Structure 1
Amino acid sequence: MLEAMGGKGVDEVGAIEGRTQMKTLGALAESPPRNLAVIKDLSCPGPAGDIPLRLYDAKKERGPSPCVVFIHGGGFVIGDRDVYNSLCTEIASRLDLPVVSVEYRLAPEHPFPAAPDDCEAAARWIATSPEALDREITGLVITGDSAGGNLTIVTTNQLANDPAQVPVIVQAPIYPVANDVSQHKSYADFAEGFLLTGAAMGWFTEQYAADPKDPRNMPMVGDCSNTPPTVVCTAGLDPLRDSGRDYAAHLVQQGTEVVYLEFPGIIHGFTTLRKAMPSGQKDLDAFLDAVEMMVERYK
Structure 2
Amino acid sequence: MTITDQDCLRETLTFNEHFAAARADRPAREGTPGAAALTLLRRNRLGGDAPPTRLPQGRDRVIDGAVTVRTFVPDHVDGVYLHIHGGGWAFGSADGQDERLWRLAEQARLAVVSVDYRLAPEHPYPAGPDDCETAARWLVEHAAAEFGTRRLLIGGESAGAHLSLVTLLRLRDRHGITGAFRAAHLLFGAYDLSMTPSQRSFGNRRLLSNTESLRGVYELFTPGMGEEQRRNPEVSPLFADLTGLPPARIVVGTEDPLLDDSLSLAARWQAAGAPVRLGVVAGAMHGFTLFPLTITERELRRERDYLATA
Q: TM-score, normalised by structure 1?
A: 0.83
SS of alignment partner, residue 230 of structure 2: coil
SS of alignment partner, residue 96 of structure 2: coil
* Aligned-residue offset at 1:43: 1.2
**In the alignment, what sits opposite 1:290?**
306
Q: Structure 1 residue 156 and structure 2 residue 168: aligned?
A: yes
Matches for 1:82-231 after TM superposition, within 5 Å: 82-129=95-142, 134-161=146-173, 162-164=175-177, 167-180=180-193, 182-185=195-198, 187-189=200-202, 191-209=204-222, 211-231=229-249
Selected match of 1:21 from 41, 45, 68: 41
**In the alignment, what sits opposite 1:3?**
23
Deviates more, 1:186-195 or 1:199-208: 186-195
* Aligned-residue offset at 1:187: 4.2
**In the alignment, what sits opposite 1:44?**
63
Question: Could you say if the C-alpha distance between residues 191 and 7 of structure 1 is closer, same or farther in structure 2, counting changes exceeding 3 Å?
Answer: closer
Selected match of 1:81 from 69, 94, 98: 94
SS of alignment partner, residue 128 of structure 1: helix
* Aligned-residue offset at 1:79: 0.9
* Aligned-residue offset at 1:139: 2.8
Question: Could you say if the C-alpha distance between residues 51 and 35 of structure 1 is closer, same or farther in structure 2, counting changes exceeding 3 Å?
Answer: closer
SS of alignment partner, residue 225 of structure 1: coil
The aligned amino acid for 2:219 is E
CA distance in 1, matches of 2:109, 2:54: 13
Matches for 1:38-77 after TM superposition, within 5 Å: 38-45=57-64, 50-59=66-75, 62=76, 65-77=78-90
Contact 2:202 2:211 in 1 (8 A): no
Contact 2:155 2:161 in 1 (8 A): yes
* Aligned-residue offset at 1:135: 1.4
Residues 197-255 of structure 1, C-alpha deviations (whole Å, 9 max, x = no match): 21111011111116414322111222211111111111121101110110001111222
Question: Could you say if the C-alpha distance between residues 198 and 42 of structure 1 is closer, same or farther in structure 2, counting changes exceeding 3 Å?
Answer: same
Residues 81-136 of structure 1, C-alpha deviations (whole Å, 9 max, x = no match): 122323322321332100000011111111111111110001111222269x8412
Uncovered stretches (5+) of structure 2, i.e. residues with no partner: 1-18
Report the count of equivalent residues.
284
* Aligned-residue offset at 1:35: 7.3
CA distance in 2, matches of 1:25, 1:10: 22
Identity among equivalent pairs (%):
26
Contact 1:81 1:101 in 2 (8 A): yes
CA distance in 1, matches of 2:135, 2:266: 25
Q: Work out which of the two has the higher radius of gyration on C-alpha atoms and give 1 or 2.
A: 2
Contact 1:175 1:233 in 2 (8 A): yes
* Aligned-residue offset at 1:25: 4.8
Contact 2:193 2:235 in 1 (8 A): no
Question: Could you say if the C-alpha distance between residues 26 and 154 of structure 1 is closer, same or farther in structure 2, counting changes exceeding 3 Å?
Answer: closer
The aligned amino acid for 1:114 is A
Q: TM-score, normalised by structure 2?
A: 0.80
SS of alignment partner, residue 235 of structure 1: strand
